[in-house]
Structure 1
């Protein structure tokens, strides 16, 4: 049996790290990534289902292992990136409770990256560093304010059913100066996430996966699915 799930820049990632992560993310439901992407309206998975784990189709178990490998590889890559940048994230600790993901994060980031950020302090530290490096031009903030006026209607305008499409008056909108900081923060966050995705895509180029640990969407294995 292969003792490593992947090689990162030639260094082995032990399968035990993948097994440990799988053990910290109990299943809920029988879906492929149910423990990664909660059902609509749910925000956590804290109901282990050992019976389902025993009876799940082999193809589902294989895909789950591949998915978990991606999370662990992302953690390893982030640790190395933090070290290269001189960042020192807090030491990793064994999870005291099942992995918890926000449904919005899964929708926005994909379940692999969302789970990696929930699991890995190094990934969170790297994302924070990338976000802090982003510069948002004033023109971008102004443009966002102008194009998304439905987000900046006053409470009174909302009560009256005013919409920008009907021609909102200036007094129906929150003043630009009052919302400018929040818009800038949101745009910086989005830019930081794009930078994180760009980093991850490039960093994965150093990874060689063992058989049974390929990316879930890798077309070279028969069970592949384009799901994240």
Structure 2
């Protein structure tokens, strides 16, 4: 987490972002299920590092989500857009539900775009962190046990 924070601080400086020296005014609350997707190191960095949060926000602004991708997501994930009434009735979203059983595209489009933009930003953050830490050399004995480049990467602590 300390290394991720330092690398994020450097990336923020390179991008001309204001230095995030203060503690975050809010902690980014990473829901438990997302920790498994993000990984504990990234989840910790995004929760506690103002620099990592600033970098993620900047990366999110850079993501271009095409309209076709938003529409495709809506079409392929109809189950996510059932109305509460349809859910109570047990409507199958893939068995020709009535148009009133699914929220209209215009109502959920911005939410879908935001979710896709956030997912793309997370992928960009993962890529950035992998590339940024590629040249980091850890002092012997301070390697992370989950780092596959470390000879004893399967030990636990």
TM-score, with structure 2 as normaliser = 0.88
CA shift, 1:183, in A, is 0.3
| Alpha-carbon separation, structure 1, partners of 2:66 and 2:120 | 12
Higher-strand-fraction structure:
1
Decide whether aligned partners of structure 1 residues 146 and 86 sit closer, same or farther in structure 2, where only a CA change above 3 A counts.
Answer: same
- Structure 1: 5+ residue stretches without partners: 1-70, 95-99
Aligned position for 2:94: 165
Pick the aligned partner of 1:90 from 15, 20, 39.
20
The number of equivalent residue pairs is: 151
For residue 226 of structure 1, report the CA deviation from its aligned partner. Answer: 8.6
Matches within 5 A, 1:1-228: 71-93=1-23, 102-219=31-148, 220-222=150-152, 224-225=153-154
Distance in 1 (CA, whole Å) between partners of 2:74 and 2:51 is 34
Shift of 1:170: 1.6
Q: Does the aligned pair in 1 maintain the 2:9–2:20 contact within 8 Å?
A: no
Give the conservation status (yes or no) of the 8 Å contact 2:13–2:19: no
Deviation at 1:116, TM superposition (A): 0.8
C-alpha deviation, 1:165, in angstroms: 3.0
Which structure's CA Rg is the greater one?
A: 1
Deviation for aligned residue 1:215: 2.6
Q: CA-atom RMSD, angstroms? A: 2.0
